[in-house]
């Protein structure tokens, strides 16, 4: 089965439960949402710089009952630009910087797609596979991926869940997964739309691809 990579864990390792969780997940892109993005890719831990306020935003989402799943396309891994371990070091830096800004900015999962566009993987956004796997891990469901979430055998309720990202691929993943999608200004990051994310009545942004 075509599955994403998972930060510092085997893909099907168990995930810590959360008391009182209503099933809502905040699926967040990484570059341009939590940290500063680069046209030539963030290629090392030293290049990963937190966007101001990201830690406080993640903590606010957790306080509102969301679990946090980072879903990031990282095709440079399969292109040979950096390794899985070098990517893990970047994600370690992200975790450290988020918690340094706010001790409650805990990430439940970081999932990544190492696949290049020409590999046509459903776990590369705009495919919904990373979102499907995030849901399945947090809900203790069998791992399964499909190009459309509606085609999965095991159905689930996404509650208030949403995808936040700065690219069309993120909106496509939200659409294919059947949840709200919110566009982020990559120069500002998640803090720029936090009030919208915390508004359960906000339907998100229309798919424009």
* CA dist., res. 114 & res. 92, Å (int): 17
Catalytically annotated residue among 13, 22, 29, 199:
29
DSSP letter for each residue of 115-150:
--GGG--TTSTTSSHHHHHHHHHHTT------SSGG
Q: Give the gyration radius of the chain's Cα atoms.
A: 15
29 catalytic? Reply is yes
In 3D, which of 70, 73, 71, 74 has the Cα closest to residue 43?
Answer: 74
* CA dist., res. 53 & res. 192, Å (int): 9
The DSSP bridge partners found for residue 71 are: 111
- Phi, psi angle pair for 35, to nearest 5°: -130, 165
The DSSP bridge partners found for residue 6 are: 111
Catalytically annotated residue among 31, 108, 166, 170:
31
31 catalytic? Reply is yes
Per-residue buried b or exposed e for 27-62, using 16+ beta carbons within 10 Å of the residue's own CB: bbbbbbbbbbbeeeebeebeebebbebbbbbbbbbb
State the catalytic residues.
Answer: 29, 31
């Amino acid at each position: 089965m075509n599955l994403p990579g998972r930060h510092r864990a085997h893909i099907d390792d168990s995930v810590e439960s959360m008391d009182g969780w209503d099933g809502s997940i905040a699926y967040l892109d990484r570059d341009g949402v939590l940290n500063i993005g680069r046209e030539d890719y963030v290629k090392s831990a030293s290049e990963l710089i937190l966007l101001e306020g990201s830690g406080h935003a993640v903590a606010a989402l957790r306080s509102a009952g969301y679990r946090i799943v980072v879903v990031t396309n990282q095709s440079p891994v399969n292109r040979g630009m950096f390794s899985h371990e070098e990517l893990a070091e970047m994600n370690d830096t992200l975790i450290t910087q988020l918690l340094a800004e706010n001790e409650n900015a805990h990430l439940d999962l970081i999932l990544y797609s190492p696949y290049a566009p020409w590999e046509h993987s459903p776990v590369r956004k705009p495919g919904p596979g990373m979102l499907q796997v995030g849901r399945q891990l947090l809900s203790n469901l069998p791992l399964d991926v499909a190009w459309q979430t509606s085609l999965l055998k095991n159905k689930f309720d996404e509650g208030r869940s949403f995808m936040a990202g700065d690219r069309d691929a993120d909106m496509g993943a939200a659409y294919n997964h059947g949840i709200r999608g919110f566009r982020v200004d990559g120069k500002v990051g998640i803090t720029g739309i936090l009030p919208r994310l915390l508004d359960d009545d906000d339907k998100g942004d229309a798919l424009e691809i």
